[in-house]
Amino acid sequence: MVLSTLMTSICTFLALLTLPFRSRLSMQLEVLALRHQLTVCQRAGTRPRTRPVDRLFWAWLSRVWSGWPEAPVFVQPATVIAWQRKRSREHWTRLSRQRRPGRLATAPEIRQLIRRMSRANSGWGAPRIVGELEKLGIVVAEATVRKYMPRRRQPPSPTWRAFLTNHARDLVAIDFFVVPTVRFRVLFVLVVLHHHRRRVLHFAVAENPTAQWTAQQMAEAFPWGEAPRYLLRDRDGVYGRHHPRRVLRGYLSYYHDWRTHLSLDRDCPEHRQIQDAEAGEVIEVPEVGGLHHHYERRAA
C-alpha cells in the first residue's frame, strides 16, 4: 500500500513538471486520471481492486485522451484495452438480443403460391417466378422466392423402362406391320396395344393407309371418348402432321401472351397487364399439354 502511494506521488510530481507544456484539456484529463488512481489506491486492501465503474472510466478515457497509456500506474494499458473490447462485445450482444420489428412476414398464401409454381414448372427459377408474381400484383424479392421454393434433389435421369412402368395404365402404342400376299400385294395392318394388360384394343387392314384412315381407326378404337393420356408411335407419314403444328401454335400463343422475360423487364412480348388482388383468386392454367403453366386472377 505504501509503495503504491509512493508511486502515485512520484507520477503526480512528474506530471506537474510538464504542465506548462500541455494543453488545458490534456492537463485536466491527466489530473482526472491521477485523482482516480489515487482514489483506487486509498481503498481498503493490500492490492487495489477495480470496480466496473473504474473500468468504464478508463475505457472512456482511452477514447477521449491520446496520452492515456502513460498515465496508468495500478493497471497495464493492455488491461484497459481488454476492458474496452469486453465492453464493446457486451454492448453489441445486448443490441442483438433486442427484438426489433424487421420486414413484414410473407403471407402464407404467397408462400403456397411460390411452392405451387415451382413444383408445376420445374424449369422456373426465382427470377421467373418473381416476374409471374408481379403480373399478379404480388411484389416479393428474389431472396424471398428462393427461401420458399422447395429444395429439389437431382435424381438420376429416368429410364424408358421407368416411364413405361409409371404410366402403363395411361399408355397406348400403335404401329403398322406388313403382310405380303400370294399375289404380291402388300397389306398394312394397324394394331392398337394397351400396355397395362398387353391387350390389343383394335386392329385394321388397308392397302394404302392414309392419315385420315388412321385417324378414323383411332376414333373406332376409343368410341366413348376414353382416349389414352400417352400415345406411342413412330414418325410415319400416315400418322399425319397436325399434332406438331397444334403443339407449336399452342406454345407460340403461350410464349407471346404469357411468358415473362427478364430482358423485357419481366414483361411478355405482347404486353401483359398487371392484375391486383381485387381481380380475384389466382388460378393455374396448363399450357402445351401441361408442359408449361400460366397464372392469372379470375373472379369466383
Q: What is the pLDDT of residues 15-68, one digit of tens each?
A: 555 555 555 666 666 666 666 665 666 555 556 666 666 666 666 666 665 665
Which of the pair, 197 or 62, is modelled with greater confidence? 197
Residue of 201 and 1 predicted with greater confidence: 201
Cα(71)–Cα(10) distance, integer angstroms: 12
* CA 33 to each of CA 27, 28, 68, 186, 255: distance values in angstroms, whole numbers, following the listed order: 10, 9, 8, 116, 77
Give 259-298 pLDDT, tens digit per residue. 998 888 889 999 999 998 888 899 999 988 888 899 999 8
Output the nine-digit C-alpha cell for 73. 500506474
Q: Which pLDDT score, from 0 to 100, does residue 132 have?
A: 92
What's the pLDDT tens digit per position in 113-132? Answer: 999 999 888 888 899 999 99
CB neighbour class for 106 (10 Å; exposed up to 12, middle 13-18, buried from 19): middle
Q: Which three cell numbers mark 36?
A: 482516480
Task: Say if residues 206 and 197 touch (Cβ distance below 8 Å).
Answer: no
pLDDT at 109 over 80: yes
Q: How far separated are the first and last CA of the chain, in Å rounded?
A: 89
Q: pLDDT class for 134, splitting at 50, 70, 90?
A: very high
The H-assigned helical ranges of 18-125 are 24-41, 52-64, 77-97, 108-120
pTM: 0.46
Query: Can you tell me the distance from the alpha carbon of 285 to that of 110, in angstroms, rounded to the nearest whole number?
Result: 18
State how far the Cα of 166 lies from the Cα of 160, in Å rounded to an integer. 10
- 167 Cβ neighbours under 8 A, 6+ residues apart: 229, 230
Written as one letter, the residue type at 115 is: R
Q: Which of 65, 101, 62 is nearest to 84 (CA)?
A: 62
